[in-house]
Amino acid sequence: MIGFIILTISAKAQSKYQQSKQATELNKEIFKIIKKNSLFSDDLNWKEIKSESTTLAFTDNDSINEQLIFDFYKQKLRAVGDKHSFFISSRTINEISKAPMAEMPQGEYLGDGIGWVKVPRLMTFDEKKDIEFANSIRTIIEKIDTENTITGWIVDLRHNGGGNMWPMIAGLNALIDDGTAGYFVQGKTRTPWPNENGKILGKTKSVNTYKIKNNKVKIAVLFDAQTGSSGEMTAVSFLGLPNVKSFGQTTSGYITANQTFPLSNGGQLLLATTYVTDRTGKGYKGGIIPDVTVDDLSNTKNDNVIKTAAKWLNEN
């Protein structure tokens, strides 16, 4: 009996050691990634972070250790102004992958020559869902454009909280010419961000290639305080075009570009690594201020934001 108890304690101790070792390695891994790649790396006190990270109280529960590490670095990043970077666990990734899409794009002909397309947030880890989302935008645009004589478009990004920007941009590409939609900026380096017909950046499969009959007509882009992250990036992809004007309220300001870093435990770190500019070089480091502010938060297809945008679209 005594021998059995000794062996049991030894097994528990070994298990705790293994879990602590895994947590220690994950801690070191994240430390290196953030120090090398974070947009805010120079603002962080790395000597202090290294010292404090070694005192994290790891347990024999891997999930608890993971959350402890994630919370520690997230707090450090928030303290220096990074409000966009975040971690996602392998469990959450798996749950999102299996779940149906929370929302799908909408659109219709509003009359008076105006087509309306509303693009919601999109969070997936599934190429098929990304393609389905992009194609649904293109299908909506194609139907409105082929069945009506369109003299203006409304791209409604209100309440779009973000996720994956590329299917959003790929779908809305039907409204504009191909080309550089903006730039990722890190220090003195500017990396163009392409917008090409039929392509979702990073995906091998093509999407619907329909282009509207007249892409010189006016486009009103709508956003509000709940437009964030990839919703803001999608808005930026239109800004700077001569036929575009924006309406609504200032966006939430989650406008840094997040790069995905896979972690050894199956989770991911989505780290803010660059600022962005529109196609003209205008930078956005905070919320996007609309050209025309309209204080109506009802977020419907016939509210004052829509009506104000429609009035501009119908002006000669």
pLDDT in tens, 33-66: 999 999 999 999 999 999 999 999 998 888 999 9
The pLDDT value given to residue 187: 85
The pLDDT value given to residue 289: 97
The pLDDT value given to residue 15: 45
The pLDDT value given to residue 188: 86
Q: With cut-offs at 50, 70 and 90, classify the pLDDT of residue 186.
A: confident
Phi, psi of 291 (to 5 degrees): -65, -35
Strands of 244-248's sheet in order across? 106-111, 114-118, 152-156, 218-223, 244-248, 292-293
pLDDT in tens, 218-277: 999 999 999 999 999 999 999 999 999 999 999 999 999 899 999 999 999 999 999 999
The pLDDT value given to residue 240: 96
Residue with the larger pLDDT of the pair 3 and 158: 158
The pLDDT value given to residue 96: 87
Of residues 297, 293, 255, 253, the one with CA closest to residue 158: 297
The pLDDT value given to residue 11: 43
The pLDDT value given to residue 194: 92
The pLDDT value given to residue 5: 42
Q: What percent of the chain has pLDDT over 70?
A: 94
Q: With cut-offs at 50, 70 and 90, classify the pLDDT of residue 98.
A: confident
The pLDDT value given to residue 102: 78
Chain Cα centroid distance, residue 246: 20
Contact 264, 26 (CB under 8 A): yes
Question: What is the overall mean pLDDT for the chain?
Answer: 91
Residue 13 has pLDDT above 70, yes or no: no
The pLDDT value given to residue 12: 45
Contact 244, 181 (CB under 8 A): no
